[in-house]
Amino acid sequence: MDHEPPKPPVEPTNCVGIDVGILKYAHDTDGTAIGSLDLSVERARLEREQRALSRKEYGSANWEKQRTVVAHRHADIKRKRRDFLHKLSTYYATEYDLVAVEDLDATGLIELDGNSRNRAGAAWGTFKRLLEYKCEREGTHFVAVEPAGTTNECAACGVSTDKPLWVREHSCPSCGFTADRDANAAWNILARGLEQIGVGHSESMPVETALPVDTPVSAKRVIETGSPALNEPSVDGSLRAG
Protein backbone atom coordinates (compact mmCIF):
# COMPACT_ATOMS: atom_id res chain seq x y z
CA MET A 1 0.00 0.00 0.00
CA ASP A 2 1.48 3.30 -1.11
CA HIS A 3 1.84 6.14 1.36
CA GLU A 4 1.21 9.71 0.36
CA PRO A 5 4.22 11.99 0.94
CA PRO A 6 3.82 14.33 3.91
CA LYS A 7 2.41 17.75 3.07
CA PRO A 8 4.91 20.60 3.41
CA PRO A 9 4.45 22.73 6.52
CA VAL A 10 2.51 25.92 5.86
CA GLU A 11 4.78 28.07 8.02
CA PRO A 12 8.03 26.13 8.37
CA THR A 13 9.99 27.00 11.48
CA ASN A 14 11.61 23.67 12.35
CA CYS A 15 13.41 23.13 9.04
CA VAL A 16 17.03 22.50 8.07
CA GLY A 17 19.26 22.65 5.02
CA ILE A 18 22.18 20.22 4.82
CA ASP A 19 25.34 20.63 2.75
CA VAL A 20 27.56 17.56 2.38
CA GLY A 21 31.26 17.91 1.73
CA ILE A 22 34.73 16.41 1.90
CA LEU A 23 36.49 18.18 4.77
CA LYS A 24 33.29 17.99 6.84
CA TYR A 25 30.73 15.30 6.16
CA ALA A 26 27.76 17.63 6.67
CA HIS A 27 27.09 21.23 7.63
CA ASP A 28 23.55 22.33 8.43
CA THR A 29 21.71 25.62 8.85
CA ASP A 30 21.61 25.19 12.63
CA GLY A 31 25.39 25.55 12.61
CA THR A 32 26.24 21.90 13.23
CA ALA A 33 29.40 20.88 11.37
CA ILE A 34 29.78 17.10 11.43
CA GLY A 35 33.21 15.68 10.75
CA SER A 36 33.82 12.86 8.31
CA LEU A 37 33.97 9.34 9.69
CA ASP A 38 37.58 8.37 10.41
CA LEU A 39 38.16 4.81 9.25
CA SER A 40 41.93 5.12 8.84
CA VAL A 41 42.66 2.48 11.49
CA GLU A 42 40.21 0.05 9.91
CA ARG A 43 41.65 0.68 6.43
CA ALA A 44 45.20 0.11 7.70
CA ARG A 45 44.12 -3.23 9.20
CA LEU A 46 42.44 -4.17 5.93
CA GLU A 47 45.56 -3.35 3.92
CA ARG A 48 47.72 -5.46 6.26
CA GLU A 49 45.40 -8.43 5.88
CA GLN A 50 45.30 -7.96 2.10
CA ARG A 51 49.10 -8.03 1.97
CA ALA A 52 49.10 -11.18 4.06
CA LEU A 53 46.59 -12.73 1.65
CA SER A 54 48.79 -11.92 -1.34
CA ARG A 55 51.62 -13.95 0.25
CA LYS A 56 49.49 -17.09 0.62
CA GLU A 57 49.34 -19.79 -2.02
CA TYR A 58 46.18 -19.23 -4.01
CA GLY A 59 43.52 -21.83 -3.24
CA SER A 60 45.34 -23.31 -0.23
CA ALA A 61 43.74 -23.76 3.20
CA ASN A 62 45.79 -20.85 4.56
CA TRP A 63 44.76 -18.65 1.61
CA GLU A 64 41.09 -19.47 2.22
CA LYS A 65 41.43 -18.72 5.93
CA GLN A 66 43.11 -15.38 5.20
CA ARG A 67 40.52 -14.55 2.54
CA THR A 68 37.86 -14.87 5.24
CA VAL A 69 39.79 -12.47 7.46
CA VAL A 70 39.96 -9.90 4.63
CA ALA A 71 36.23 -10.29 4.02
CA HIS A 72 35.55 -9.61 7.70
CA ARG A 73 37.68 -6.44 7.55
CA HIS A 74 35.71 -5.23 4.55
CA ALA A 75 32.45 -5.98 6.34
CA ASP A 76 33.62 -4.11 9.45
CA ILE A 77 34.29 -0.93 7.45
CA LYS A 78 30.96 -1.22 5.67
CA ARG A 79 29.10 -1.78 8.96
CA LYS A 80 30.66 1.20 10.70
CA ARG A 81 29.98 3.52 7.77
CA ARG A 82 26.39 2.28 7.52
CA ASP A 83 25.88 2.73 11.26
CA PHE A 84 27.07 6.35 11.05
CA LEU A 85 24.77 7.11 8.10
CA HIS A 86 21.78 5.43 9.75
CA LYS A 87 22.15 7.40 12.97
CA LEU A 88 22.77 10.71 11.24
CA SER A 89 19.80 10.32 8.88
CA THR A 90 17.56 9.25 11.77
CA TYR A 91 18.53 12.37 13.70
CA TYR A 92 17.55 14.73 10.89
CA ALA A 93 14.36 12.85 10.05
CA THR A 94 13.12 12.90 13.65
CA GLU A 95 14.29 16.35 14.75
CA TYR A 96 12.90 18.47 11.90
CA ASP A 97 9.64 19.02 10.04
CA LEU A 98 11.37 19.76 6.73
CA VAL A 99 14.79 18.64 5.50
CA ALA A 100 16.43 20.04 2.34
CA VAL A 101 19.50 18.48 0.73
CA GLU A 102 21.34 18.68 -2.59
CA ASP A 103 20.24 16.28 -5.31
CA LEU A 104 23.81 15.14 -5.90
CA ASP A 105 24.94 12.70 -8.56
CA ALA A 106 27.09 10.66 -6.19
CA THR A 107 28.32 8.31 -8.94
CA GLY A 108 29.58 11.21 -11.01
CA LEU A 109 31.36 12.73 -8.03
CA ILE A 110 33.15 9.49 -7.22
CA GLU A 111 34.50 9.33 -10.79
CA LEU A 112 36.13 12.76 -10.53
CA ASP A 113 39.92 12.96 -10.26
CA GLY A 114 41.36 13.43 -6.77
CA ASN A 115 39.84 12.65 -3.38
CA SER A 116 38.12 9.62 -4.91
CA ARG A 117 38.47 7.57 -1.72
CA ASN A 118 37.01 10.39 0.37
CA ARG A 119 34.10 10.85 -1.99
CA ALA A 120 33.41 7.12 -2.20
CA GLY A 121 33.77 6.70 1.55
CA ALA A 122 31.39 9.53 2.26
CA ALA A 123 28.58 7.51 0.64
CA TRP A 124 26.49 10.61 -0.08
CA GLY A 125 24.09 8.64 -2.22
CA THR A 126 23.40 6.18 0.59
CA PHE A 127 22.88 9.02 3.07
CA LYS A 128 20.38 10.71 0.75
CA ARG A 129 18.42 7.49 0.21
CA LEU A 130 18.32 6.71 3.93
CA LEU A 131 17.29 10.26 4.77
CA GLU A 132 14.50 10.28 2.18
CA TYR A 133 13.16 6.94 3.40
CA LYS A 134 13.25 7.94 7.07
CA CYS A 135 11.68 11.33 6.43
CA GLU A 136 8.77 9.58 4.73
CA ARG A 137 8.51 7.17 7.66
CA GLU A 138 8.53 9.97 10.24
CA GLY A 139 6.21 12.30 8.33
CA THR A 140 9.01 14.80 7.72
CA HIS A 141 8.98 16.66 4.42
CA PHE A 142 12.05 15.81 2.33
CA VAL A 143 13.14 17.94 -0.62
CA ALA A 144 16.18 17.52 -2.88
CA VAL A 145 17.30 20.65 -4.72
CA GLU A 146 19.50 21.51 -7.69
CA PRO A 147 23.07 21.65 -6.33
CA ALA A 148 24.60 23.94 -8.97
CA GLY A 149 25.65 27.27 -7.50
CA THR A 150 24.84 26.58 -3.86
CA THR A 151 28.47 27.14 -2.87
CA ASN A 152 29.14 30.22 -4.98
CA GLU A 153 25.90 32.13 -4.45
CA CYS A 154 25.68 34.47 -1.49
CA ALA A 155 22.92 33.31 0.84
CA ALA A 156 22.24 36.92 1.83
CA CYS A 157 22.03 38.71 -1.54
CA GLY A 158 22.30 36.02 -4.26
CA VAL A 159 25.43 37.36 -5.97
CA SER A 160 27.63 34.54 -7.30
CA THR A 161 31.37 34.46 -6.58
CA ASP A 162 33.71 31.72 -7.76
CA LYS A 163 35.55 29.88 -4.98
CA PRO A 164 38.29 27.27 -5.38
CA LEU A 165 37.99 24.31 -3.01
CA TRP A 166 40.75 25.56 -0.73
CA VAL A 167 38.84 28.77 0.05
CA ARG A 168 36.81 27.77 3.12
CA GLU A 169 35.10 31.09 3.82
CA HIS A 170 32.34 32.81 1.90
CA SER A 171 32.93 36.55 1.69
CA CYS A 172 30.49 38.41 -0.57
CA PRO A 173 32.06 41.34 -2.47
CA SER A 174 28.60 42.75 -3.05
CA CYS A 175 26.91 42.86 0.38
CA GLY A 176 29.80 42.02 2.69
CA PHE A 177 28.16 38.92 4.18
CA THR A 178 30.76 36.45 5.51
CA ALA A 179 30.26 32.88 6.68
CA ASP A 180 31.80 29.44 6.55
CA ARG A 181 31.72 28.21 2.96
CA ASP A 182 29.58 25.18 3.80
CA ALA A 183 27.24 27.15 6.08
CA ASN A 184 26.53 29.54 3.23
CA ALA A 185 25.79 26.58 0.94
CA ALA A 186 23.47 25.03 3.53
CA TRP A 187 21.41 28.24 3.71
CA ASN A 188 21.12 28.29 -0.08
CA ILE A 189 19.97 24.67 -0.05
CA LEU A 190 17.29 25.44 2.52
CA ALA A 191 16.11 28.52 0.61
CA ARG A 192 15.85 26.49 -2.61
CA GLY A 193 14.00 23.74 -0.81
CA LEU A 194 11.43 26.15 0.61
CA GLU A 195 11.02 27.83 -2.77
CA GLN A 196 10.67 24.47 -4.52
CA ILE A 197 7.69 23.46 -2.40
CA GLY A 198 6.14 26.91 -2.72
CA VAL A 199 6.57 27.98 0.87
CA GLY A 200 9.12 30.75 0.50
CA HIS A 201 11.72 32.00 2.93
CA SER A 202 10.28 33.07 6.26
CA GLU A 203 10.90 36.72 7.14
CA SER A 204 11.74 35.55 10.65
CA MET A 205 14.81 33.71 9.33
CA PRO A 206 16.99 36.26 7.54
CA VAL A 207 20.41 34.76 6.94
CA GLU A 208 22.20 37.85 8.22
CA THR A 209 20.79 37.45 11.73
CA ALA A 210 19.90 33.75 11.90
CA LEU A 211 23.32 32.30 11.04
CA PRO A 212 24.50 30.53 14.23
CA VAL A 213 28.02 30.05 15.48
CA ASP A 214 29.32 26.79 14.04
CA THR A 215 29.38 23.79 16.37
CA PRO A 216 31.95 21.19 15.28
CA VAL A 217 30.86 17.62 16.00
CA SER A 218 32.87 14.48 15.40
CA ALA A 219 31.43 11.50 13.56
CA LYS A 220 32.33 9.46 16.65
CA ARG A 221 29.78 11.42 18.69
CA VAL A 222 27.06 10.62 16.17
CA ILE A 223 27.88 6.92 16.44
CA GLU A 224 28.04 6.95 20.24
CA THR A 225 24.95 9.06 20.96
CA GLY A 226 22.86 8.67 17.82
CA SER A 227 22.82 12.44 17.23
CA PRO A 228 25.25 15.36 16.90
CA ALA A 229 23.72 17.13 19.94
CA LEU A 230 26.33 18.36 22.41
CA ASN A 231 23.94 18.36 25.35
CA GLU A 232 21.78 15.37 26.09
CA PRO A 233 19.25 14.72 28.85
CA SER A 234 20.45 12.62 31.76
CA VAL A 235 18.32 10.05 33.56
CA ASP A 236 16.78 12.68 35.84
CA GLY A 237 15.89 14.90 32.88
CA SER A 238 18.52 17.56 33.48
CA LEU A 239 21.06 18.47 30.82
CA ARG A 240 24.57 17.16 30.97
CA ALA A 241 27.49 18.19 28.82
CA GLY A 242 28.34 15.86 26.01
The predicted pLDDT at position 8 comes to 53
Question: What are the 10-residue block averages of pLDDT along the chain, 242 residues in total?
Answer: 53 83 85 88 95 95 96 94 93 94 66 50 80 94 91 87 82 85 91 85 46 73 80 35 30
Q: Can you point out the beta strands (E) in 83-177?
A: 98-102, 141-145, 169-171
Catalytic residue among 42, 102, 132, 180: 102
Q: HSE (CB half, 13 Å, CA atoms) of 50?
A: 9
Is 28 an active-site residue? no
Residue type, 133: Y
Domain ranges in the chain are: 15-241
The predicted pLDDT at position 11 comes to 56
DSSP 8-class letter at 1: -
Is 111 an active-site residue? no
Q: How far is residue 141's CA from residue 131's CA, in Å, rounded to a whole number?
A: 11
The predicted pLDDT at position 151 comes to 86
The predicted pLDDT at position 242 comes to 31
Is 182 an active-site residue? yes
- Write down the pTM of the prediction: 0.79
Catalytic residue among 42, 49, 153, 182: 182
The predicted pLDDT at position 142 comes to 95
The predicted pLDDT at position 5 comes to 52
The predicted pLDDT at position 9 comes to 54
Radius of gyration of the chain (CA): 21
